[in-house]
Structure 1
Amino acid sequence: MPSSSSARPTAPPTVWSARGRHLGPAAQDVLRLSLRQLKDSEVIDDFLEVPETAGAQEWIFEARWRVAETVTVRARLTVEHDSGEGQEWVLVAEAEAPWDPRWPSPATMFWPREPDATWDHDAVTGLRLTDINPLPADDKAVRRVLRDAARDGWSVHVVVHEAMTTDQRGRVPLAGMLPPSLRHRVVEHRAAPSQLRVVNWALRDFDVEVPRGGAVVLPGTAARSAYDADDFAVRSVFLDGSEPAELIHAVTRFAALPRPLPDGGEEAVTALREDWRLLTLEEELARERKLVAMYADALEAMTKSRDLYREAAEQAHAALAAYREAADTVPAARPEPPADPAPSPLQHLTRTFERLKGTARARRSASGENAAQEGEPAGGRPETVEERPQTSDR
């Protein structure tokens, strides 16, 4: 199965979206002519071509119409400049109520309704949106087409297997039998009787299998949370011109499932909602009132901020004045002399030597004074005791 894309927002229930490719010349001219005819015939209420800006890579058209008499639909179509392989277009429409598949296809509110139109081609595979598309005869081409189709998030791809070669009655496209809103979102692939094996081999990575003589709806970009291949597989499809009710029901149920917006879908929906230009008079008045209210709120916020700033400045000035007054009345305290720094070890050793030297000098002075008092000159030879006269024993 394809990996889930839970990070993408879910498509709103009011939104219809499609992507295709125009293979004819000058798609923008085709759109201008078609929109003018649709407005003149009152199929749409109004349309607008957004003026191009410098360096623009696409044309932008807007249209508005009503469904169910009272529900307004707004739609925006972008068509890229010709790239040599046709012009890719993206169409997003949003209604004022949840989308009903019985409403007209928004594609027919822009493009001409012609059987040989060149605009109704799928953007991923290049196949027709409103016709039968037989699978290629080459096996590699079959695998490439089906794998691209199984990953596509814009269109609904259906693979139908022919149990036997059909006649003209079995060549009726499925698109013409679907509800109108699904006719330009479905791509029908037809597999020949001998292609069943290669088809199922190409789809094995998606856990999808086409029953013999039946059909299956492919999962798309990411498998929907409620998608089960068995629920959207039809065991048998009678290709005899009759309406394949079971297959139509499967396609309709699949299209109604909650699904993530495809690549580029979120940007297209945002542009439709935020960059809308085709306004009625009432919408323009409502927008101007909204702008006035927004500006009034901004002005009120600025005024409140200014008042708060002024109040804070006044409080700061008052505090500064009080501080200066207090400083003038209280004498400044004399700063205490800095404490003597602690002597270094070298200074301590020098002072110790000086004390020892002073002690030695004091001791020598004291010794000299004691000698002078006893009659011995300091530092001289001591006097000897007078010798007694010798007497003879006679």
Structure 2
Amino acid sequence: MKFASVVSVFLLTGLPTAHAYDQEISARFRPDSSTPHQNTFLNTTPVSGYCRVYPSECSNAGMFSIRVPVSFDSSSPISANHDDPRQGAMFNVPAGWRTAQVVHSTTGETEVVEVRFIGVGSTYRLHDSVFDLIGVGAGTGFINAHGTRWGTSWQQVPAPCQAFRSAQASAHTFQFFWKTPTPGVCAKRARYAIPRLTYDYLDFGYEMRTPNPMGMSSGRYTGRLVFLVGPGADIDMGDVMIPGDPVLAFNFILTVEHTLKVEIPPGGNRVELAPQEGWQAWVNNGQRPTRLFRDQRFDISASSRFKMALECQTISGNTCAITEVGTGHAVPVDVSVTLPNGMVDAIAQPIIRRPLLRDGSGTALIWPFSYIDRKPGTLHFEVGRESVEAMLDNGGNTYTGNVTVIWDSEV
């Protein structure tokens, strides 16, 4: 018997936007027999920034982080005790879910990816030393000295932001990372004037929701989500801190690598039809069999939709036939299939002795609820009573024919 299983992978990259920093976000679904019920994408984006230093904290928070070379520089000095948060160190990032459409590079099928910022950080840089302040001596300690400049330490995170781990500091720099669990402005007010402030880079922590891969075709899905950066934009650091890049773009690449594999036991491609009790009743007593049949087991692994159909050496209507070579007399063979629990048709009905037909009707769409890993199924072959009578009346000689059962992932 012949089996068709086609799994294709294509690549299509997103087109760049002018004056934008492009960041690739990649994820892959490849079924794993050790975790067959884990039907989710694996984020394959290289980790940088905060989560590279503190991987366990990020894993517990379900967060990934990326460091991008998007810097910010103050366009004017930050005044001491400013009343307007927008005139100082302020952070407002897209902490709510944003959606992007991803498109299959060959079929044009579309799905939706969602992403949100759940953390933001950087290393801020003062262009004067924190020890230049009157009353701040070298023995104060870097973190406490920075806290004097701002009135409170950056480890005391303004709501709605929250702290992660302790920060690192020098006389001119302070490295920080804050959680952003909900949308809102997080701002620090300077206690003393700051002539110039720079953020060396942008660290962001993100959470991603991907579509259900079980209903997706194999291949690459790509899409693009653009965030504007600057005062009043999606990533807003206030009116004073001006970005070096006005756009941060996420280029999503989702790779789906489905499995469709059918294993027939040795010799299983040769099917001999026989009466239920064998041929002895006919040979010894002349008792005619009422039907000829054979059940052939197979093992199937599948992680996505597929279809089944027949191809025939000899056609009989919508099914196949077997033929007596000498006379050319032919009789139809009814072929049906039973698939493992968890596989259903387009209306969620189980596949139990479902007829396999040349036009594929009834088996044009089969879904696994989750990854099926080497579960048993059965092909049922049968010649009915009337056809058996016709075979015996024709002399009861040997009838043969090739029946090709097709499992096809190209749905």
Give the TM-score, by structure 2 length.
Answer: 0.21
Report the structure, 1 or 2, having the larger strand content.
Answer: 2
- Larger relative contact order (Cα-Cα within 8 Å, sequence gap ≥ 6): 2
Pick the structure with greater CA Rg: 1
Report the structure, 1 or 2, having the larger helix content.
Answer: 1
Give the TM-score, by structure 1 length.
Answer: 0.22
